[in-house]
Amino acid sequence: MDIDYNHNNDQININSSDISLMGHGIKNLDEILLNKNLNSINFHSNEIERINGLQGLINLTHLDLSSNNITRIQGLESLISLTTLNLSSNKIVVVEGLFSLKKLTWLNLSYNKIEYLQGFQDLWGNEFNLNIIQIHGNHIDSLDDVIKYMNGLSRLEHLTLRENPISKTYDYRLKLFNHLRRLTSLDGLDKHGNKHISSQPLNGIEQYIHLSNQTKDQLIDSSNSLSDQYPKIAAALNSFRYNPREFQSSTTSTTNDIHNESCSELDNDSISHHRKKDVKETRKRLLTDDKHSVESQLSDIETDSIKNKNSQSNPKTNHKQSTPRQKSMKKYKNHSSLSNICSNELMEEQTGRFSINYDRNLLNPRRERDCDEFNENNKFYLSISNELDSERNKRYQAEQQIKQLNLIINQLKQKGSKTNGNLLEELNDKHKQLLNDEKSKFRDLTSIVDDYKKRLQTTEDQLCSYKKAQETNLQLIKTLENNLTKSDTENHQLKINQNEKVKRLEDENHKVKYENDSLEKELSRVKEQLRQCQELCTNKDIQHKQEVDKCRIDLQSNEVQFYIKQEIQRKEDFFQNQSKIQQEKLESLALEYKKLENEFRDALKIEQRRYIDLLKTNEILRQENELFQSSSTNTKQNQESDKKIMNDLMMLVREQKTRLQEKSKTNENVLNENKNLKMKLEKAVEELRKIREQILLLQKERKEINARFQAHESILSALKEEKKLWTQELTHQGVSLAQDRGRLESTIEILNSEISTLKKQLDKQVDTSKIKQTIIESQLDTIQKLKDGIVERDETIKKTREEFLLDKKEFEKQIQEEQMVNQELQDKYDNACEKKDSLKSNFNLLQQELEKTKSDYNALTKKWKEKSDLINELDNKIRRASETYQINEKKLSDENNRLMQIQKELEAKVHERDDDFRRQFEVIEHGHRQTINEIKKAYEDKLEQSQSRINQIEDEMRLILNETNQQKLKWQQRIKHLNHFINDLQQNN
């Protein structure tokens, strides 16, 4: 099997067993799909730097990677059945990676940079079959290393080390033959200095053994196939085969008139022109047909040419007479051989490199095949040139006969009557008219050819314009893809942020659970303390009753009642003052709650605006897609009109690639500027992220402070309950309290002092938490403002994008306008920088306002005391608000996912459009090829018609000659009768 690789289309026959890709500029083996059933691979003279992509090639036996840029031997572990390996002319320094090649028999590492031979130790033992090693042209210095690392190669018989530094040492051959006992040849010579032939391998000779049984019957069958496929050539060869005498008889005649010589020169020119056309047609037919059919044709032509030579060598009568035409024929033959050599070279350039056919019964198939094809082509073209020369000689004879007939006719004019003269004049007029008609037809054909050339030039210009439009469309598609990738990255970042938020919330939940557990433990401890206190109280009650029983006091006495009334009034006044303070606090909290609601409403409005902007952008993208669809339909219509010209104008497209590369460089500069802008924006976003992380940390600290505040409030509630119990005991036991009043008041004052200190601490912590809350809220406001600024910047970027698209559409007409557009973009960039500076100034102003609000807040915090109950209610409300915020975030995430799906659908549509465009391009190419083939067929038909007309004219000339001969005989008979009559009259007289 052999493989066909087209360098232009890069298509490989995957089902073949042999592959040959020499000099195709391959850089990576992963780019090529390799069949697992391959037997041999040849990647000679490419640009491969690394051996990879050969996994799974179990059946591979021959591998050639010579003349590449390989620096290391690797990736050969799976090549179990490899027998020959050629890595010559690379950049290898160390021998390694050969431990799995047990069937390897021939290894070529010549003309590398090898200095170290450690890898040959992996090939020691009877399991390995390495027989031939070629390491000539390297940097091997020491004999000891060679003997050390090759001593264990049990089957090594042939070794080449020439052109190494080691080969210049004294008696290195004797040392190697003494230490390497199995070695039979070194550098192509045996121990005695005689040449040894078996050191050079014959790769793949086993594939050609079955071809030695080919018989003569197969050659005869292949020659008979020519007559079926090409009947015209067979008929021409048969006519040449059975009429050899006409060729020789035509060489004996000569001419003397100057007019006749000019006519013959014109005929020769026309014949040479037709000959060139015939040669071109035969070239095209040979290129389009299969190789095996061409070989069978050439074998048949060889047999025919041999017969013709034999038939021409038999007659000996006219061999001595030679005319100037025979000399010109010899010169033409020599010239045709040179022209055939040039034609073969042109054929190789046009058709590209063909792969090697491994199904030949020769040792070096490629070189001998090329020689055979060259000789057979020469024979074929020589046979065709001989045929054309024979036709030219026939025509030359006919012209001479016409001239002789003209002389006879002129003589007959003098002797004959006027009627015969009129007939001859009419015949001459007919011939002249026919010749003039042919000349006019030839002129028409030349005018038609000129028209076609002009059309080709116009179509070339149109194709260049269409190519430019196509490239602009491709650039637009690339920009859309970049925008899609940017949106993907933004969505990915949003997902990452959401995941981080979820993780942080989970951590906070764990912390809250831990704090709850600690609080439950404290509650259990407090309950035990309360139980102990109750036991103490019961004991004290018992003791108190005993003491009361000892010293009873009348509760209905005036002094006791007066004291109780005073205490009641004092407590009532205290509670009234506290209720007023709490009402004031409630009113202030209500106002703050309203403010928070207004802020949440503003946030929702901002989100609504953002959603509206996203919907607008979606509509804009849909409109752009519709525009692209309309433009694609227009391009389809334009391409259908230009199907007939695409293939002829591909060369001009290659010349214009250089210009397009220059334009791409300018576009790359613009892209680099855009990338710098993007980097600056990313830095600003990172700063905002850092601020956001600080805000989240402040929120965590706030939650921790709230938890501590709740714990202190629970302690205060417990203390209040104890205070109420003590007041009840005072009401029931006023007498006992009077006795223990001093003691209890001291304890109460201590507790009040502790409570006041705790409240002060709580107030301070609340103040700090509120300060942090205000800081967080202010930072959130700034973040929202920055987001609005980013949205405005996105809008400006969209506007610039639209302007850039319009500029690209006008890029074909005026190149200078692009520079103006670039200047406008730079101005816009400066405006964006100015906007950024203004935003920074606004941010500083906001910070100053924040500081003012902080000072005001510190002034107000003095009034915020004894508001623990209301703070709990506000915390619940804030939790509800946070829940609503989470719901909104979920909605936003759902909408984001929906937009991602829409984006994926758009990407799929873009890919489908790319596929449709490629298919249309292929259809256009196919149509152009068909039209070119139709034009060629029409031109061939016209040539055949002209030839048929020439044949008709020749037939008419022959008929005229026959008629003239008959008239000549008639005149001769009449002259004889007249002579007889005159003789009779003379005799009678």
Across 43-72, average pLDDT:
88
Token pair of 178 as six digits: 């003494």
Euclidean distance between CA atoms 353 and 24, whole angstroms: 9
Higher pLDDT, 555 or 318: 555
List the one residue out of 85, 62, 53, 73 whose CA is nearest residue 117. Answer: 73
DSSP 189: B
**What is the spatial order of strands in the sheet that 62-64 belongs to?**
18-20, 40-42, 62-64, 84-86, 106-108, 132-134, 158-160, 185-186
Across 142-160, average pLDDT:
86
Token pair of 894 as six digits: 């759902």
Euclidean distance between CA atoms 48 and 65, whole angstroms: 8
Span 189-205, pLDDT tens digits: 887 777 765 444 444 44
Return the ∠ at Cα 267 (arms to 250 and 959), rounded to 5°: 65
Residue-range domains of the chain with CATH: 1-203 (3.80.10.10), 223-315+322-415 (no CATH), 459-549+564-930 (no CATH)
Per-residue confidence (pLDDT) for residue 112, from 0 to 100: 93
Higher pLDDT, 311 or 654: 654
Span 258-291, pLDDT tens digits: 344 434 443 444 444 444 444 444 444 444 444 4
Per-residue confidence (pLDDT) for residue 865, from 0 to 100: 63
Q: Do residues 185 and 199 lie in contact, with contact meaning Cβ atoms separated by under 8 Å?
A: yes
3-state secondary structure of 68: coil
CA distances from 915 to 124, 911, 912 (A): 55, 6, 5
Q: Do residues 35 and 57 lie in contact, with contact meaning Cβ atoms separated by under 8 Å?
A: no
Contact residues for 161 (Cβ-Cβ < 8 A; gap 6+): 135, 136, 140, 146, 167, 172, 176, 186, 187
Per-residue confidence (pLDDT) for residue 989, from 0 to 100: 63
CA distances from 834 to 677, 687, 781, 793, 837 (A): 13, 18, 22, 12, 5
The string over 383-408, giving b where at least 16 C-beta atoms fall within 10 Å of a residue's C-beta and e elsewhere, is bbbbbbbbbbbbbbeebbebbebeee
DSSP 108: E
Span 403-433, pLDDT tens digits: 777 777 777 766 665 565 666 677 677 767 7
Q: At what angle do helices 172-179 and 143-150 cross, to 10 degrees?
A: 20
Res 220 pLDDT > 70: no
Average pLDDT, the chain: 71
Other C-beta atoms closer than 10 Å to the C-beta of 335 total: 11
Q: Do residues 137 and 160 lie in contact, with contact meaning Cβ atoms separated by under 8 Å?
A: no
DSSP state string for 821-885:
HHHHHHHHHHHHHHHHHHHHHHHHHHHHHHHHHHHHHHHHHTT--S-HHHHHHHHHHHHHHHHHH
Across 220-233, average pLDDT:
48
- Kindly indicate the confidence band of residue 84, based on its pLDDT and cuts at 50, 70 and 90: very high
DSSP state string for 606-660:
HHHHHHHHHHHHHHHHHHHHHHHHHHHHHHHHHHHHTTTSTGGGHHHHHHHHHHH
Segment (H or E) for 380: helix 365-415
List the one residue out of 600, 596, 606, 601 whose CA is nearest residue 789. Answer: 606
Q: Do residues 164 and 186 lie in contact, with contact meaning Cβ atoms separated by under 8 Å?
A: no
Q: What are the percentages of helix, strand and coil residues in the chain, rounded to 5?
A: 75, 5, 20
> First vs last Cα of the chain: how many Å apart?
101
501 Cα distance to chain centroid? 39
Strands 18-20 and 84-86: unpaired
Identity at 960, one-letter amino acid code = I
Rg value, the chain, Cα: 54
Task: Tell me the range of 230-234, 698-702, 782-786, 965-969 where mean pLDDT is highest.
Answer: 965-969
Span 549-606, pLDDT tens digits: 665 555 566 776 777 788 788 877 887 887 788 788 878 877 877 787 777 778 778 8
The pTM (predicted TM-score) of the whole model is: 0.28
